[in-house]
Structure 1
């Protein structure tokens, strides 16, 4: 797939968005901002993006082509883009790579093949190391970076922040999706679009109108008593960032159903997973979604639960090996005021969909019981 995408992109000025996580949202943001700026980009992103109309689009008039670059199997080196965006570089896909040095080598090669700018997150130490050089455009939270943001407010459905280019205040922006990590992703799009000549007024409009990708902090149910969110996050860093966003919604409790993705990732990053769920009040973990891998002896969902228990004494934990068991156990565990978030790259979203489908009935039962003097209802 990467070879074919690189061949198609060779007919345009490519913008490759790469990194361990955040690629889909940032690719979609970048394409949307460039489109609103009048540059008529083509794009290819890895999820359904309603605001873009489709996950792939070819525009015969525009020069730019925005696409995700997949580092999982080393095929990122097939791209020779005009610009690159590097979001983060972390140990991942260790079933393919020998370690972080091998991963850095792939990113260095694609940067050596990038003709103009590479935009990178200066808050990520490995990305800062790999992306050092005159073509680099940095972004982050410090005014020492080329582009930075100062967050003004974080709401359940949007974020407001000031944008700086070095010490110059460009203005205030409102991003139509929540989360500090998404403000960081937006900065990448802002930096690239500014370098491509898009006005800040057009950027402001694009960010305000942006709506997220499917399975990226997607709200499945929002009622008076319960909220259900689904997210694709399956790497420790993105799990922690997603849960931090969930915490910002100020629910009484955060209940999480997590489906580990790949036996190799579960084994190699188990300590990192153990530290990722500190914001969760009650955690359920399913068996591992294999994604074509063969099982590894002693590796299962319980591997993560054991690490969480070792590192965290306040999160209640439970094992829900199969999806039907997960639906029953998680559904019965919910209490009024809870936010349920399903996390994982496999089929865990199906559980969230089933629970979200049944919650309107539970909401009505709870209202009837409250009006009648109290009582308990469960899914």
Structure 2
């Protein structure tokens, strides 16, 4: 596979956040792109409007003709999330036609190109999008492969403007299925190594080994940025890149004087023996200040001056579903967030408490995966107990079959919030229509996002009445 020779590409599972970003990149750089996905979504609709042809039936005859030809200029990419009985995929595989995972293609694409890769069990989407924004705002030509829709640009793919081989690649390095091991970055970030994806790794030690292998792939002359306290967990004699730690009031690079003013986080940064003062971050959260610290360090390393970095942080508006304000009134705040791990929930609710002291905090949470709910039941209950009111939906299964004895009820028992309930997704609009809410949060990585717009409309009607 040589990226420069590809003239046609077919994506099986094109509607995924990572797959769609890759498809957009090829389309932008002159390749004819076609795709399949199971259902039509807002994301596939946008891809079609951009000129990418998509079908939603897995019949073999629906695939473009070029996939059946032995042409070295044809690329077929698939996601491991497609069903095992997918007709088109199985036909291609059974007939010996070359198929590539997204991670393999991304690895090939970044070969020989200056790459900034952001890894971590959480924080990587915000951090990679923040780095991409700082560099783009600072007039650097970049290609940003992101794991979420950045609100600054309304897309998960920030496009290079010139020759792609000369652009800086900013990529979210996903530890799921060990896919980030195909990357060979010049700059690597590790935001967190908390236990997650244990259905893949089995044990936390195996997950951390995978992060070590990721860092071993960093260019020997490259730079590693790692959250303070994590280096000892992933250090390996085979890692050649230089490690630099970062954090809040800790690490080689650190945020200082962190304050909340007018619902914004204001802070200074100690970096390379000097202090840059006056950062204003409109995307709330102590965890996002940490994400900003490493983004600032990378922006400076790649040539931006203090003024450009200060302005870039000030104008960064975040990622869809990452501490996203849906409604923000004096009497009521509605926030939507992707948090689906206990550490993420804790960081989210701690920040909300700092922003809205004395306000009642109500959370509607949808657990994601039976195995994750089982493995972290105690931790989920502890982190959710930071809210005043917790409403739990049924578990979103994603790729898993049910596990006997595992349901939202095992969380509910140990939550120590003032109020706690199990609620049905179908009746939640009616359930919330007559309640007095002050700070309300929808949270989870499943399909809870489908409730955001209906809830927003309901709350707006209430306010207008």
TM-score (norm 2): 0.73
Higher relative contact order (CA 8 A, sep 6+): 1
Out of 230, 245, 252, the residue aligned to residue 146 of structure 1 is 252
Q: Is 2:116 the partner of 1:15?
A: yes
User: Cα offset for 1:316?
Assistant: 1.1
Per-residue displacement from partner, 1:311-361 (whole Å, max 9, x unpaired)? x2x4311001x31122322343x315x111000011112223222111122
* Aligned-partner Cα distance in 1 for 2:433–2:124: 32
| Contact residue 136 and residue 142 of structure 2 kept, 8 A | yes
Q: What secondary structure, in the 3-state scheme, does the structure 1 residue paired with 2:198 have?
A: coil
Q: 1:156 to 1:242 in 2, by over 3 A?
A: farther
| Contact residue 208 and residue 233 of structure 2 kept, 8 A | no
* Aligned-partner Cα distance in 1 for 2:225–2:136: 19
Q: Structure 1 unaligned segments of length 5 or more: list them.
A: 366-379
User: Cα offset for 1:38?
Assistant: 2.8
* Aligned-partner Cα distance in 2 for 1:176–1:362: 27
Matches within 5 A, 1:246-325: 246-247=352-353, 248-250=355-357, 252-308=359-415, 312=416, 314-320=417-423, 322-325=424-427
Q: What secondary structure, in the 3-state scheme, does the structure 2 residue paired with 1:51 have?
A: coil
TM-score (norm 1): 0.88
| Contact residue 88 and residue 127 of structure 1 kept, 8 A | no
Residue 327 of structure 1 is matched in structure 2 by: 429
| Contact residue 21 and residue 88 of structure 1 kept, 8 A | yes
* Aligned-partner Cα distance in 1 for 2:425–2:154: 32
Q: What secondary structure, in the 3-state scheme, does the structure 1 residue paired with 2:152 have?
A: helix
- Which shows bigger deviation, 160-169 or 206-215? 160-169
Q: Is 2:288 the partner of 1:182?
A: yes
Q: CA RMSD in A?
A: 1.9
Residue 449 of structure 2 is matched in structure 1 by: 349
* Aligned-partner Cα distance in 2 for 1:156–1:349: 27
User: Cα offset for 1:105?
Assistant: 1.1
| Contact residue 140 and residue 184 of structure 1 kept, 8 A | yes
Per-residue displacement from partner, 1:180-235 (whole Å, max 9, x unpaired)? 11000001101222222221211101000000111111111223432211101100
* Aligned-partner Cα distance in 2 for 1:192–1:99: 32
| Contact residue 433 and residue 458 of structure 2 kept, 8 A | no
* Aligned-partner Cα distance in 1 for 2:280–2:232: 27
* Aligned-partner Cα distance in 2 for 1:154–1:187: 16
Residue 439 of structure 2 is matched in structure 1 by: 339
* Aligned-partner Cα distance in 2 for 1:191–1:106: 25
| Contact residue 284 and residue 330 of structure 1 kept, 8 A | no
* Aligned-partner Cα distance in 2 for 1:165–1:318: 46
Per-residue displacement from partner, 1:30-57 (whole Å, max 9, x unpaired)? 0111122332121110111131352113
* Aligned-partner Cα distance in 1 for 2:232–2:131: 21
User: Cα offset for 1:155?
Assistant: 4.1
Residue 374 of structure 1 is matched in structure 2 by: none
* Aligned-partner Cα distance in 1 for 2:433–2:443: 15
Out of 189, 194, 212, the residue aligned to residue 85 of structure 1 is 189
Out of 88, 100, 104, the residue aligned to residue 208 of structure 2 is 104
Q: Is 2:147 the partner of 1:40?
A: no
- Which shows bigger deviation, 293-302 or 274-283? 274-283
Q: 1:251 to 1:46 in 2, by over 3 A?
A: farther
* Aligned-partner Cα distance in 2 for 1:261–1:361: 30
Residue 325 of structure 2 is matched in structure 1 by: 219
* Aligned-partner Cα distance in 2 for 1:152–1:181: 12
| Contact residue 264 and residue 282 of structure 2 kept, 8 A | yes
Q: Structure 2 unaligned segments of length 5 or more: list them.
A: 1-101
Q: 1:21 to 1:32 in 2, by over 3 A?
A: same
| Contact residue 366 and residue 396 of structure 2 kept, 8 A | yes
| Contact residue 154 and residue 179 of structure 1 kept, 8 A | no
* Aligned-partner Cα distance in 2 for 1:152–1:99: 35
| Contact residue 132 and residue 142 of structure 2 kept, 8 A | yes
